[in-house]
Amino acid sequence: MNSDMSDTSFTLAVSLEPALECLLFVAGEPLPISEMARALQVDEISIEGALRSLQIGLTERGSGLQLIRIAGGGNSPHAQRSMR
């Protein structure tokens, strides 16, 4: 992969993180990746990458939010508030 493509992918994932965090937080229920991709008008692979980056960011900043992938529900991560 050339560096231009990887830089573009990184930029897209970073710019999607705040939108995904907002989308998951206000949804109040699990969202399939296909719905997130449709709402944000990007492909599902971009959503997957941004979700991974978002999870790392939430952990690094000690957020009370966690992303949880629900078993049996397909690709349906959702935000969950954690009481600490």
The total number of structural domains in the chain stands at 1
Average pLDDT on 38-47 reads 93
- Band the pLDDT of 82: cuts 50, 70, 90: very low
**Is pLDDT of 53 > 80?**
yes
Residue 62, φ and ψ in degrees, nearest 5: 65, 35
Q: For position 17, which CATH number holds?
A: 1.10.10.10
Average pLDDT on 39-57 reads 92
Which pLDDT belongs to residue 1?
44
CB-based contact 33:48 (threshold 8 Å): yes
Domain that holds residue 67: 3-81
pLDDT per position as a tens digit, 61-74: 998 888 888 865 44
